[in-house]
Structure 1
């Protein structure tokens, strides 16, 4: 006869907590890419994800962006919400250690220059780099001229409300509209075509 026994409660609780940590860590590495258009909703915004992995929120349902401010890699203070009020803001979460970030960097730098005259500002959020040196070298290598906030512990990322197109991977690119509301996101590397698909409709908004 097989013997059965119950694990002590403290062990059960410990294993459940460990599984929760693993699941949360895994969620942060997932991309938002999908094979077709999907409509999602939660306690936050209702958004649509296209086959290219770009999620967008209808203008009437967008939520206010969180406060994004801190010190840049150049050592200056930057408050994104006030400095770029009335502008479309493209936030790119990246790390110098991240291969997909390297793949997209030149695309971001190019489109940033193209759309700046149309009222579009790009800002990076550099995360998980233990020091600024590798991050600065990354910007120089790929011709990134827009500022990046230094956020090694990911504290700025945690300011985004869940369910409102928060960053769920590195890289992630999130766009604020001219009213300072979260309008779009892609949680994967961006091509030039992706950036224009995401930004051109927002530039055209009245």
Structure 2
């Protein structure tokens, strides 16, 4: 083999290895981006261990009543040093919002959550809002966020994201931040979105579940 051919082969191997490294880094960055502030699922029906669900063009996923999976036990310390167990809220429609003070989309939707939660509370409807604050290393950051945006309902403090991992795989689980999940009156997962929502979208998730008999 000539010296020039050997050099070409070595150069080709280095180039291929470099491309593989770049692809691996890009894939990792994409995964981290999704887990930090991700977007919605696609618009196709999905079958999982929690039944069949459909994600619409708005990014909101819903599952029929007979196909719903039981929500996991969500309990622990709250941002304001209290305690909360969502099992005590059975009989109400429960709106779970996963958020972090560091997350720009969470800041964008926070005012809508404050508005809609107050509407339902003032109307005396059987709807409870619960936040799940995650990846905030300081409660002070979370408290400042709630005060800034007028959030008055409680938030479980979950800096390591352990509560999110309690949701069964294949169900409408909160695998991005922000995520919003609506539980029906029996404590089953009825709807989810992995994108920030406005007040109209939030009501569209709640009302059909609230109207169920």
| TM-score, normalisation: structure 1 | 0.86
Match of 2:90 in 1: 85
> 2:160 and 2:76 mapped to 1: Cα distance?
13
Superposed displacement of residue 25, structure 1:
3.2
Q: Could you tell me which of 113, 125, 143 is aligned with 2:132?
A: 125
| Structure 1 outlier segments of 4+, above 4 Å | 1-4, 17-24
Q: Indicate conservation of the 8 Å contact 1:33/1:52, yes or no.
A: no
Deviation per CA, 1:105-159: give whole Å up to 9, x if none: 0100111111232100000000111100111011001110000011000010111
> 2:198 and 2:175 mapped to 1: Cα distance?
18
Match of 2:39 in 1: 31
Q: Do structure 1's residue 174 and structure 2's residue 156 form an aligned pair?
A: no
Match of 2:206 in 1: 199
| TM-score, normalisation: structure 2 | 0.83
> In the superposition, relative to structure 1, how do residues 26 and 44 fare at CA in structure 2: closer, same or farther (>3 Å)?
farther
CA RMSD of aligned residues (A): 2.5
How many positions carry a matched residue from both structures?
Answer: 197
Q: Could you tell me which of 87, 104, 108 is aligned with 2:109?
A: 104
Q: Could you tell me which of 116, 129, 135 is aligned with 2:142?
A: 135
Instruction: Flag structure 2 segments of 5+ consecutive residues without an equivalent.
Output: 11-23
Superposed displacement of residue 45, structure 1:
2.2
Instruction: Flag structure 1 segments of 5+ consecutive residues without an equivalent.
Output: 5-16
Higher share of residues assigned helix: 2
Between structure 1 and structure 2, the one with the greater Rg is 2
